[in-house]
């Protein structure tokens, strides 16, 4: 059986009352909106085929990070 207890030193992934993770302070990151927009462009380039959302997102993120 897996131990599902959280260590006391573990930090929460979000702040209380927040719906999204805070953006990292690293300037070499693409914003969520930039990635979303590029992923949608990739979706359209693929002929609006469903089932590639994760691949589109990762590809968009890689492209944008390579240009920063």
Segment 3-20 mean pLDDT: 54
Segment 6-31 mean pLDDT: 58
| Range in 11-15, 29-33, 63-67 the model is least confident about | 11-15
Looking at the chain, the whole-number percentage of residues with pLDDT higher than 70 is: 59
3-to-6, 10, 16, 33 alpha-carbon distances in Å: 9, 15, 25, 37
Is the pLDDT reported for residue 61 higher than 90? Answer: yes
Note whether 39 and 63 are within 8 A (CB). no
Ordered by start, the domain boundaries in the chain are 41-66
Is the pLDDT reported for residue 4 higher than 70? Answer: no
């Amino acid at each position: 059986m897996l131990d599902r207890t959280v260590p006391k030193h573990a930090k929460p992934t979000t702040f209380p009352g927040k719906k999204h993770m805070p953006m990292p302070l690293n300037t070499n990151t693409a914003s969520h909106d930039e990635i979303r927009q590029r992923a949608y462009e990739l979706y359209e380039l693929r002929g609006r085929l469903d089932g590639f959302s994760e691949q589109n997102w990762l590809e968009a993120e890689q492209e944008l990070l390579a240009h920063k």
